[in-house]
Amino acid sequence: MLNVNEINRALARILPTVQKPGRYTGGEYNQLIKDWDATPLHTALAFPDIYDLAMSNLGMTILLDVINRQPDMLAERVFSPWIDMERALRDNAVPLYSLESKRPVADFDLLGISLPYETLYTNALNLLDLAGIPLRTADRDESYPLVIAGGHATFNPEPMAPFIDAFVIGEGEEAILEVARAVLAWKGSGEPKAALLEQLAHIHGVYVPSLFHVVYKDDGTIHSVFPAVEGIPVRVLKRVVGRLPAPPQRLLVPHIDITHNRVPIEIMRGCTRGCRFCHAGMVNRPVRERPVEEILDTMDHLLTQTGYEEVGLLSLSSSDYTHVLELIQGVNERFAGRHVNISLPSLRIESFSVELMDLLKQNSTRGGFTLAPEAATERMRGIINKPVTTEQLLTTADAIFSRGWHTIKLYFMIGHPEETLEDVQAIADLCKQVLSIGRERIGKRARVHAGVSTFVPKPHTPFQWVSADTIEMIEAKQTLLRTSLRGNGLKLTWTDPHETLLEALLSRGDRRIAEVVQRAWEMGARFDAWREHFDFQRWQTACDQTGIDLHFYIHRQRQEDEVFPWEHIDIAVKKTFLLEDYRMSKKGEVRPDCREHCYACGILPTFTQLRRENPGPVWTCPEIASRESR
């Protein structure tokens, strides 16, 4: 394998020949390169998508910072090369390298792969292959880096189980250091890899798939999943942090333009709304908020340090942040006249959101205003638990157009359980209604952009039992929208139905799906989230060759008592709670925002101690009296 000098020399020849070579050079402002020989533990953090997206990922930034702050550890970045660069690397026998020191990935002790969405699975395999690392845990001995993975998709780790040595389930800020400590202690101990794996399995939140057995029933569903060794937990409980750790104090500033080219600040983690389709809303409980002062101070520090011209204040639902008004007022006071753009995504459908954006106007460009009603009829909104009335939406739209915005972007989803063509038609009708409000207010400049994605049933949600729409149903619904949403001022975007099927297959897949992932990758699948590279036929063929029935995974309605492939992963929200919520959805019953009232999802009894250690408004869950005062 080539060494650092040889890699650098090869890159000088390769880089002028590929698109956007700035993706592959590293060397950004604020890049940290620690002394390799003087640092005992070497970690490569991989995001298996291109630089442009990888560098926009806050999780990556956080973990890089967490590890690099340890004096005896270093972390460097590894991303997926685009197709042209992959070819150049393979043609010149250049192994995948880290951006900082240009070392081969295989030289690191620990490789952490971020898996926020399922369509990155083939990219993750490709990344291992480009690094010259065998794909399967079973084929990697002590000479290879320990391969771990985490991120939202790994709340169902099973489709990637044979490839990953250990998963970190849940929040990684603390757990990754515990894993890294264990690797450091093991490194040079002469102990076999098996000993390390068993030790990792004892860390809270760590799942070592090779230490678990799966037994199937005759009908193909799962009978049970259980540990193969004694003493490790039967269910792996996700990790959560008691309060949001301080944001990273050092941010890289890329040379080339990336998807989110700005200072990212997480203002809140989790969401109390409980939309039934929403994976993030279920797995990220409890809701924890960052204090206003900490957000403002961080903004100030990072803007000065990086020279960025934009800040993203990030959360799953910005208007639910308790002190959002105070925050925006603070932003206005402190950053007026500094040519800083503020983005505040994920606002609720209510006039208050428009007032908030209006307050921010001096700091932001007035492009489009985005709202996510998700469904267009009140019947559907009852089913999915997004109780906003059409009247409320129209009033909000009116306020948006009145205050100077020209474009409203509306996010919808088709394919929700029990959705009919009438519900889909209502999406088109609602968009037209919003447009006519815009016309009344501002005339022909008014625009409505409908972004319509397709629902995928996700594990650990109240909809984990339901079937996904068939391709015929999806296509019929999309055709209806395309024919109804024509005309000036209207724009429609939709998701490729085959991509939806793939996501549906992978998100509720079990270990047998790993064979399909590998087979599809061998046939050339990668960048499955990129329309120009996605080819469902490969996946179809991979399923045929491995004897996997797509219908079983995608379109089968699960029994209420079915054992799921992710049954042994505990998100602390009880299965009985999810089931109750699912039954409520069938009756169109709404479960209100749990900020108002606790519905006992299971978080508090599981994390009682953590809540007690972090009292007050840091959590939105009810207080737990300390032992003394009881």
Q: Which residues bind another protein (CB under 8 A)?
A: 9, 12-13, 15-17, 21-22, 24-29, 31, 253, 255-257, 261, 303-309, 339, 365
Q: What amino acid is encoded at 366 in this protein?
A: R
Give dist(CA 19, CA 55) in Å, integer. 17
365/483 with CB nearer another protein = 365
CB of 439 to another protein, least distance (A): 23
Of 138, 141, 143, 112, the C-alpha closest to 127 is 112
CB of 283 to another protein, least distance (A): 35
Buried b / exposed e along 208-220 (16+ C-beta atoms within 10 A): bbbbbebeeeeee
Give dist(CA 561, CA 223) in Å, integer. 11
CB of 135 to another protein, least distance (A): 31
CA angle 473, 479, 485 (to 5 degrees): 135
84/623 with CB nearer another protein = 84
CB of 13 to another protein, least distance (A): 5
Q: What amino acid is encoded at 91 in this protein?
A: D
Q: Residue 95 is encoded by which pair of tokens?
A: 């192994």
Give dist(CA 395, CA 143) in Å, integer. 63
Q: Residue 388 is encoded by which pair of tokens?
A: 């906003």
Q: What is the CA radius of gyration of the chain?
A: 24
CB of 52 to another protein, least distance (A): 12
Q: What amino acid is encoded at 282 in this protein?
A: M
265/505 with CB nearer another protein = 265
367/605 with CB nearer another protein = 367
CB of 103 to another protein, least distance (A): 16
304/626 with CB nearer another protein = 304
CB of 4 to another protein, least distance (A): 15
21/40 with CB nearer another protein = 21
Residue 578 sits at φ, ψ, to 5 deg, of -65, -40
The count of other CB atoms within 10 Å of the CB of residue 425 is 16
Give dist(CA 342, CA 360) in Å, integer. 7
The count of other CB atoms within 10 Å of the CB of residue 410 is 23
CB of 47 to another protein, least distance (A): 19
21/134 with CB nearer another protein = 21
Q: Residue 352 is encoded by which pair of tokens?
A: 């208050």
Q: Residue 324 is encoded by which pair of tokens?
A: 């959002």
148 and 166 in contact (C-beta within 8 Å)?
Answer: yes
90/223 with CB nearer another protein = 90
